[in-house]
Amino acid sequence: MVRLMRTDSSHLDFRSLVALLDQDLAIRDGADHGFYAQFNQITNIQYCVVVYFDDQPVGCGAIKAFGEDSMEIKRMFVLPNYRGKSLAQQILIELEKWTLELGKTKTVLETGQKQPEAIALYYKSGYQRTPNYGQYIGIENSLCFEKQLS
């Protein structure tokens, strides 16, 4: 049984999953991890989603304000043993719905070249590559995406 819960960054299940995400990213990003970590703080994120599988927290994602008409997708993660069950896609869809409910029409995100699962998810979900934005301009490992929502 899959259940999605909307919450904020103070929720303990969200915080626990993000800690595991950060451990995974430290391995994938290696020496670059410190650069990315500074942009992934979860203090005061109002819009977070936790996915439960048989009442166990197994994945998460969040959105935060980004410009006048956009929300930035952050902290997407699913535990390795639960990948391949479309849970990340369900989290992404919920974050997109929430974005629309907040009156925004676009989502943007950054992921790393060393995260092929994430890249595949975003392409499969209708995201388009864009030039790197903000702090990711000129960062070779970063890939930025956006999606117009309707």
pLDDT tens, position by position, for the chain (150 residues)? Answer: 999 999 999 999 999 999 999 888 888 666 665 666 556 567 789 999 999 999 999 999 999 999 999 999 999 999 999 999 999 999 999 999 999 999 999 999 999 988 999 999 999 999 999 999 988 999 888 999 999 998
What is the distance between the alpha carbons of residues 138 and 66, in angstroms, rounded to a whole number?
Answer: 19
Residue of 150, 113, 106 whose CA lies nearest to 128: 106
Query: What domains sit in the chain, N to C, each tagged with a CATH number?
Result: 2-148 (3.40.630.30)
Residue of 116, 96, 114 whose CA lies nearest to 105: 96
Mutual angle of helices 116-124 and 87-101, in 10-degree steps: 60
